Amino acid sequence: MNTIEKIFDAPWPPPVAEKPFQPFPEAYITGPVPAAFQTKTVTQLAAALFRVSEEMAADLTAFGAVWLDDRPCLEPEKSLTGCRTFRLNPPAYGPARFYEADPARIIYEDRDILVYNKESGRPSQAVPHDAYNNALSAVGRLLAARGERPRLWLLHRLDADTSGLLMMAKNKQAAGILGKAFQGGQVEKEYICQGLGAAPAKDAFEVEASIAKDGRRYVVRPKGPGLAAKTSFSVLDIGEAFGQPGWRRVLFLARPLTGRTHQIRLHLAWAGWPIIGDRFYGRPEAGSAPRLMLASAGLSFTHPADGRRMTLKLDY
């Protein structure tokens, strides 16, 4: 099995519903809790506004599709007394529980930390319409099935389409120490990615260019306002010609020296090698790809309990 097959395994996308669950045309609805519901339950409100049975409304609430006062509410029988606002986020696939963590994908675990090799297609944590089918919740259920009841803290995030090493803390003390380490840039990260462009002239290079949010997207602004960002790239392999004349599939090792949103994807696209399968910054001419060809492949950090330096890597 080659690097591509080892690192970029098949994604785990959401199910495609035969008939999308869409009780109202908007992506979501929100507003103040109606006075008539102030003494009723979340299920009763959800049933009325989703226009579904109370059984379905309770299931949608437990699934994570109902928010109260800007926070998810997973308690169907919770009273609305004192609640000010609501938001209903209908999942297109309904309250379908389709994802569970694979024990074989736990790369490392001890009493303080757990590192999971997250699949592409799954978010790191709950999203507004679904608090079930994500890595953090799924790993928590896996530990509960083993008889453990730890609370898990997510120490960093990977985009839903990015796979690879995702670290969680199993107690508050470890979460505090490692959280500061991630924020302070003391955790070294490595990513494997496959871009599309001309054969690189150098085996290694750096991209230092600020990143800013422009509407709902992120952009590179080398001379404009934005957050400073720097990424080191090394060429691992140059593939055969592909697509347009002069284009090659190029495999890179990326080391982000800062932690900006979409940093590797933006920097590699700006340098001339958009990542294959990138729906936002990729090349439409690359054709369809089964997944985003980006994976978190290495983490180096100081263990929060005993101070030893640890390096965890995917095998490639």
Distance CA(158)–CA(150), nearest Å, equals 22
Q: Is 217 helix (H, G, I), strand (E, B) or coil?
A: strand
- pLDDT interval class at 18 (50, 70, 90): confident
- 98 contacts 133 by C-beta, under 8 angstroms: yes
- pLDDT interval class at 1 (50, 70, 90): low
Q: Which pLDDT score, from 0 to 100, does residue 19 have?
A: 86
pLDDT of 209-248, one tens digit each?
A: 999 998 888 999 988 789 999 999 999 999 988 878 899 9
DSSP per-residue string spanning 239-259:
EEE-SSTT-EEEEEEEEESS-
Distance CA(53)–CA(48), nearest Å, equals 8
Q: Sign of torsion, CA 20 25 27 32?
A: negative
CA angle 243, 246, 251 (to 5 degrees): 75
Q: Which residue, among 260, 281, 263, has the nearest Cα to 272 in the 3D structure?
A: 281
Instruction: Give 19 or 278, the one with higher predicted confidence.
Output: 278
- pLDDT interval class at 289 (50, 70, 90): confident
C-alpha 257 chain-centroid distance = 19
Q: Which pLDDT score, from 0 to 100, does residue 128 have?
A: 95
Mean of pLDDT values over 71-87: 97
**Active centre residues (catalytic):** 159
Output the average pLDDT for the chain. Answer: 94
**Which domains, ranges and CATH numbers included, belong to the chain?**
29-88 (3.10.290.10), 99-184 (3.30.2350.10), 188-297 (3.30.2350.10)
pLDDT of 90-105, one tens digit each?
A: 999 999 999 999 999 9
